[in-house]
Amino acid sequence: MEQERERAGGGDPLRVCVVGASGKLGRYMVRHALDRGYEVVGVCREKSVGKLAEFADRITVVPGQTDDREVVGRAVAGCDAVLTVLVPWGVRGYSSGTAQAVLDLAPEGARLVFSCGWHITRDGEDVYSRRFRATVRAVTVLARLARVIDVDDQVEACRRVFDSGTRWTVVRGSDLEEGESEGLPVWSRHVGDPVLASNLTRRTDFALFMVEAITDDALVHEAPAIVGRRTPSARAHARTSRPHGSQEAR
């Protein structure tokens, strides 16, 4: 296990960049990466650097917008993996700009793991409830009208990731809650799988899944939709409809 956490053939720890490190998900990812002994580089907006104070002496912070190619280029240099928080802030292509910078500038062969929500579909085979679709539609329209968030730009960002020739994984989060870790979430290739019906994951476990994906080659070129392993749907269905590569809930 220790070996797979280190660079092949060497004793150096993996070097991992977290793009969007100061957010809630970002800080959990930094914590999990440090727990594994990884070397961590975090990118966050200049005004948010203080939110990383608890990690001050243990990580390198590169301040700047996450869609700034110069900033991202400096941060990902020499990294074995890049964990990217995709959030579609504003209406100027923030999410797609961030994804494109990581895709273009991360070292060849690096593991690239991106976060988004269940609303992103890779192959159109996800089955959403009427309520879920209505909510996404309402948020998309209202947030864009208010010029706060552009959900379509997150869709575009993920399309670019899916079409890239990189070693990507796009982790699709359910609704999130705070709380102690329940362990690695279970996952399915498609929303609509009964194992996901509870639609709830602890935020720390979303981050755990992102960090674990770095060393899980079964997740390369997958877009796992995740749910907490202790939720009722995971407990009820993990054994019967266990999707490829998922963890059995206990």
Ligand X SMILES: NC(=O)c1ccc[n+]([C@@H]2O[C@H](COP(=O)([O-])OP(=O)(O)OC[C@H]3O[C@@H](n4cnc5c(N)ncnc54)[C@H](OP(=O)(O)O)[C@@H]3O)[C@@H](O)[C@H]2O)c1
In angstroms, give the least distance from the CB of 203 to ligand X: 6
Stretch that binds ligand X, among 5-13, 72-80, 87-95, 222-230 (CB under 6 A): 87-95
64, 125 Cβ separation under 8 angstroms: no
Is 45 a binder of ligand X (CB under 6 A)?
yes
How far is Cα 28 from Cα 61, in angstroms, rounded to an integer?
15
Q: Which part of the chain contacts ligand X (CB under 6 A), choosing from 18-26, 54-62, 70-78, 214-222?
A: 18-26
CA dist 174 and 225 (Å) reads 7
Binding mask 152-181 for ligand X (x = CB under 6 A): ---------------------x-xx-----
Asked whether position 26 contacts ligand X by CB under 6 A, the answer is: yes
Give the nearer residue to ligand X in terms of CB position, either 17 or 85.
Answer: 85
Q: How far is the CB of 12 from ligand X (least distance, A)?
A: 27
Is residue 144 near ligand X by the rule CB under 6 A? no
User: Does residue 25 bind ligand X (CB under 6 A)?
Assistant: yes
How many positions of this chain bind ligand X (CB under 6 A)? 21
Residue 207's SS3 state is helix
Q: With respect to ligand X, which residue has the nearer C-beta, 6 or 24?
A: 24
Minimum CB separation of residue 20 from ligand X in Å reads 3
Per-position b or e across 94-122, b if 16+ CB within 10 A of its CB = bbbbbbbbbbebbeeebbbbbbbbbbbbb
Exactly one of 85, 158, 223, 249 binds ligand X (CB under 6 A); which one?
85
Residue range at the interface with ligand X (CB under 6 A); choices 1-9, 79-87, 210-218, 225-233: 79-87
- Residue pair 72/19 in contact (Cβ under 8 Å)? The answer is yes
Q: What is the distance in angstroms between the CA of the first residue and the CA of the last residue of the chain?
A: 22
Residues 207, 29 contacting (CB under 8 angstroms): yes
CA distances (Å), origin 188, targets 56, 58, 184: 36, 34, 13
Measure the CA–CA gap between 247 and 224, rounded to whole angstroms: 12
Report in angstroms how near the CB of residue 143 gets to ligand X at its nearest.
12
Q: Is 117 in the site for ligand X (CB under 6 A)?
A: yes
What CA–CA distance (Å, rounded) separates 205 from 87? 18
User: Which one, 113 or 176, has the nearer CB to ligand X?
Assistant: 176
According to DSSP, the β-strands at 176-177 and 201-202 are parallel
Q: Which is nearer to ligand X, 11 or 205 (CB)?
A: 205
> What is the contact surface with ligand X in residues (CB under 6 A)?
20, 22-26, 44-45, 48, 51, 85-87, 89, 94, 115-117, 173, 175-176
